[in-house]
Amino acid sequence: MNLRHATLHQLRIFQAVAEHNSFARAAEALHLSPPTLSLQVKQLAETVGQPLFEQLGKKIFLTAAGKILAEACQDIARRMDLLSDDLAALQGVERGSLKIAILTTVKYTVPKLLGGFCAAHPGIDVAMVVGNRENLLQRLSQNQDDLYIMGQPPEHMDVFCEAFADNPLVMVAPPTHPLAGKRRIRPERLRHEPFIMREPGSGTRLTMERFFSEHGVTPINRLELGSNEAIKKTVSGGLGLAVLSASTLDAELALGELVQLDVVGFPLIRRWHLVYPRGKRQSPAALAFKAWLFEHRP
């Protein structure tokens, strides 16, 4: 066995098969024909001297050797990314790549800032992923991106976090709701009101539940939805109240589809945070976006 004979091309193909758990899907993702892909994996297995996959029924699984090689491929991919960043650094900040993962709620504000950054730095290749809190925490634990933007930084991870903007949460209702237009509504008056909530673990939901707990109120959970857009539509349909980020509500409030309730203690002020693993080496592109974000923050 001489792994020096293995090529980066073969390792990239093997990694794609391992990630997709499918030769066909990996071939499609890499724009290769299935026979070409299978041949490369076969040649890599011959170089390793052990089978890399085993097939049980219609499914394929990594062998023990395959699992070890898959971990090595991830290390090699990360090292190649660092090499790319180092080479870009020699050319200055106008070259390189940037991968950002943002919370779904932030998609109403951050993409505008990102657009300005891209216009100012057209040579930087930017990729952005939008997901819920669970998605971002999973990506963060696997160090898949350069920077993460979320509301509540994880307490169980060793991360650097810095707040860059306020994120006020407000309570909304349909315009026909009996409390619409009332002044200084006490939280206790909401004890029997149904609420449309985000999924468990959502930062918005955690903040809302903490507020009601402090006032001895257990909100009625009528429905759980995984997106702000779905919640807004459901509330405007008269199925309940909701607590949402004010940044998501400009259009609905302007059109009169929703109204903001004057509840004592609201708005609940949260912060948007820039997060990344502590000790992670930041590329020139990531440092440039971080500076841009704090300079142009809302």
The answer on pLDDT for 2 being more than 70 is no
Question: How confident is the model at residue 120, as a pLDDT?
Answer: 87
Residues 276 and 161 in one domain: yes
Q: Are 268 and 208 in contact (CB under 8 A)?
A: yes
CATH number at residue 55: 1.10.10.10
For tokens 């919640």, the residue is 231
Q: What is the mean pLDDT of residues 8-18?
A: 93
User: ω into residue 267 within 30 of 0, thus cis?
Assistant: yes
CATH number at residue 100: 3.40.190.10
Residues 139 and 211 in one domain: no
Residues 195 and 226 in one domain: yes
Residue 146 lies in a domain: yes
Residue 258 lies in a domain: yes
Residues 37 and 172 in one domain: no
CA dihedral 157, 163, 166, 170 (to 10 degrees): 10
100-155 per-position pLDDT tens digit: 999 988 888 888 888 889 998 888 889 999 988 889 999 999 899 999 999 888 88
Residue 98 lies in a domain: yes
Q: Which domain holds residue 119?
A: 94-165+272-296
191-233 per-position pLDDT tens digit: 999 999 998 888 899 999 999 999 999 999 999 998 899 999 9
pTM attached to this predicted model: 0.63
Residue 206 lies in a domain: yes
* Total domains in the fold of the chain: 3
